[in-house]
Amino acid sequence: MQRNIAALSNQTFDVVVIGGGIAGACAAWDATLRGFRVALVEAGDFGHATSANSLKIIHGGLRYLQDGNLRRARSMARERQAFFTIAPHLIAPLPVVVPTTVGLKRHRWLMRAALAANDVISFGRNNPQTVRLPRGRLFSRTEWLALAPELDLSRIEATGGAMWVDGQMVNSERLTLSFILAAAAQGATVANYVAVTDFECSGERVTGVIVRDTLPNGSTQPFVIAGRTVINAAGYSLHHLLPGTGAYGVGLDIQPSVALNLVVARRFADVALALPTQPPSGQPSRLLFITPWRSGSIIGTAHVPFKAHDGPGLATTAQIEAFIAEVNTALPGVALTNDDIQHVHQGILPAWKNRDAAAGTIRLVREGRIIDHAQHGMDGLLTMLSVKYTAARLLAEQAIDGVSRHLNAGQPCQTRTTSITGYGMPAALTSAEMTRYAVRREMAQTVADVVLRRTDIGTDGIPAADTVNEIVTVMAEELGWDEARQRAELVEFNSYCKTTVDQIPE
């Protein structure tokens, strides 16, 4: 996969995809499989923003059963099965256990019924060639207490536990990248660090996008990528260019919110645990998920209002501090300190506007949707409002279905069963060899690209300075960086480290 900027401007594409997160990656892959000429551009690096911020879980539909949304529950179970089918090398079964209680909401008999219903709704969940997901089951109180020896689970008044199995992304960044690599292998023209600055229009029809190369050695002159249709999968970052109303420009009563997940150095259990918080009197408790990750854990999720500010990251220091305090109420017998925290993952998700500002609650948009901007006087422009990693493949299918209708062309969707194996980095490479491979074969352009998204070097903690310096040296050789660019890369990467770790107050 080579970064060929000239190839973006010397042809007309059937589909131009804006955004290289999981939604845009799936859309580009789907479109290429249907025979369309596809371009994909990403303002930063592929999968660097919200798609990198998650609990790494590919969810089934159990949570939707609580709402009585059987259609959505079945849909998510099918998408979980699809991910296991198309990327078995990057998805592993993950048992999830929630405590059962004497209260009605999570009573053992109610949870037994929910697990049974989940098994029925997720029929066909097992692919004999890839994975077998066992049926859900109840745990005894003795089994519950043995799940996490480091935690004092006896403080939770549980009668036992209920277990079901979802999927865990072995490496979410590599999974997102694999869709883009697969699209490029099928003929898509892709480029990172290409920012969209405006739409190219003819009357009320979108005919392409105006972009600029944002790399330090790139051309400062904007240019046009011509397209018969354009898909906006850039999330909140492109809201200022969208037609219509609202922060996302889609005519919906929504606003951005920030999702926070903590990566900590301590491993509490080999299964994912859903543990209740212990809030001050009069405030509702909620479940936090503690999932095993590498040698530590990921804990999430907190949702806080988004407010533009000049500090590092998306959330304020006070918001992160409050989340850490809340986590400590859910981990009996454990007091997390700043030394335990290796990353604060942050991403923007759409939420419904809160008309009661004093309440301070966040109501997330729970289902993604496709918005056709023909209704806003911009025919040929579609927005993918993506809300869940698990649902991205399905949302992309719906978007490319819309493109097919618009162009009256294209084949049926093939992404539910087409494998994306074969796009991994070779095993047993040194950090220098991995860096060269990432630059030459996977379009890595910065130190963060290599450390955070092409390799496992920095996925569970900030790497040693010697390793980072070696990566800078190799990238300088491969990309022709002078000393000033090398220093700038170190400053930029260290700034990222401060955003994810040092921002937490002492």
* CATH 3.50.50.60 applies to domain 6-51+173-252+365-407: yes
Euclidean distance between CA atoms 193 and 45, whole angstroms: 6
Euclidean distance between CA atoms 259 and 305, whole angstroms: 9
Instruction: Identify any residues that bridge with 344 across adjacent strands, giving them in sequence order.
Output: 262
Chain mean pLDDT for the chain? 90
Note the pLDDT tens digit of each residue in 68-127.
Answer: 888 898 999 999 999 999 999 999 999 999 999 987 778 899 899 989 988 888 877 666
Percent of the residues in the chain that have a pLDDT greater than 90, as a whole number:
63
Note the pLDDT tens digit of each residue in 392-422.
Answer: 999 999 999 999 999 999 899 999 999 999 8
- Tokens of residue 367, six digits: 């289902």
- pLDDT for 506: 43
Note the pLDDT tens digit of each residue in 3-58.
Answer: 999 999 999 999 999 999 999 999 999 999 999 999 999 999 999 988 988 899 99
Q: What is the mean pLDDT of residues 466-477?
A: 95
- Tokens of residue 360, six digits: 């301070």
- Tokens of residue 319, six digits: 């918001």
Q: What is the mean pLDDT of residues 237-258?
A: 83
- pLDDT for 337: 83
- pLDDT for 427: 85
Q: Strands, DSSP E only, in 170-309? A: 189-192, 194-202, 205-213, 223-232, 254-264, 272-276, 287-293, 296-305
Euclidean distance between CA atoms 103 and 108, whole angstroms: 9
How is the chain split into domains, by residue range?
6-51+173-252+365-407, 254-352, 431-502
Q: Which CATH number is correct for 431-502, 1.10.8.870, 3.40.50.720, 2.40.160.10, 3.50.50.60?
A: 1.10.8.870
Euclidean distance between CA atoms 249 and 378, whole angstroms: 12
Domains 254-352 and 431-502 fall in the same CATH topology:
no
Q: What is the mean pLDDT of residues 457-462?
A: 74
User: Pairing mode, if any, of strands 341-352 and 363-364?
Assistant: antiparallel
pLDDT band at 249 (very low <50, low <70, confident <90, very high): confident
Q: Residue 92 in contact with residue 167, Cβ under 8 Å?
A: yes
Give the DSSP letter of residue 103: S
Q: Residue 268 in contact with residue 146, Cβ under 8 Å?
A: no
**pTM for this model (two decimals):** 0.94
- pLDDT for 498: 65
At the topology level of CATH, where does 254-352 sit? D-Amino Acid Oxidase; Chain A, domain 2 (3.30.9)
CB count, 10 Å around CB of 3? 18
- pLDDT for 186: 95
- pLDDT for 35: 96
